[in-house]
Amino acid sequence: MGEKRSTEQAFQNYLRSGEQVRWHGVTKPFPLLERDAKFLILGKWIGTGAVTAVLLRLYIGNSPDWSLKAVIAVLLVAALLIVSPFVEKWNVLGQQYWITDQRVIFMSRDRTFYYMELADIDDIRLVEGQTEEGTLVVGSRVFEDIKRQLRWRACHPKTNVQSDGPMDKAEGLVLFSVSDSKKAADCLRQQLGWAA
């Protein structure tokens, strides 16, 4: 209960004076090997295992003085690559999203906020069929990314790191696997003044 209150308090502090929430959503639970991610994750695991085995075989086989530290380092890197899909899923499941009368707001698991001004949104896309629930993609700057790595982009809002502007201002957001994605898309279109 305290975490929920703390999240709500963090969000209330992030809202601007007079800003009104029109929609709120969270990522709904999804399987690790869900549709679009299945082959990417399995490929990562198989590739990591194969590359690790080859590297260790070549290193140990060709070096009579091989170092245990080097072997452990290679195994640690491989382990990190293997667990990364689990970490990514855990992060996505902790995200929350809001549409207000001024912005689309994204909050990561660690309560880092990102936003897009409604005036800066050039396009939106409702992606269905890749996840059990629909995913709302905001901003055309991330459309190309979602074809290859929808879940990765959901964890990493597109920002302009070379800009002198606010670090929390995004150029593209992914509202991943929200149960009422059609309602969210309609709400956002309404706020943008686009025909629903």
| 105 beta partners | 98, 115
11: nearest Cα among 127, 98, 101, 122: 98
139: nearest Cα among 152, 163, 123, 125: 123
Contact 124, 172 (CB under 8 A): no
Contact 118, 150 (CB under 8 A): no
The one-letter amino acid code at 38 reads K
Task: Give the pLDDT of the chain (196 residues) as one tens digit per residue.
Answer: 556 668 888 899 999 999 999 999 999 988 888 776 788 888 889 999 999 999 999 988 888 888 889 999 999 999 999 999 999 899 999 999 999 999 999 999 999 999 999 999 999 999 887 777 889 999 988 888 777 788 888 888 888 777 777 889 999 999 999 988 899 999 999 999 886 5
* pLDDT, position 3: 64
84: nearest Cα among 119, 134, 32: 32
* pLDDT, position 74: 93
* pLDDT, position 119: 93
H or E element, residue 158: strand 158-159
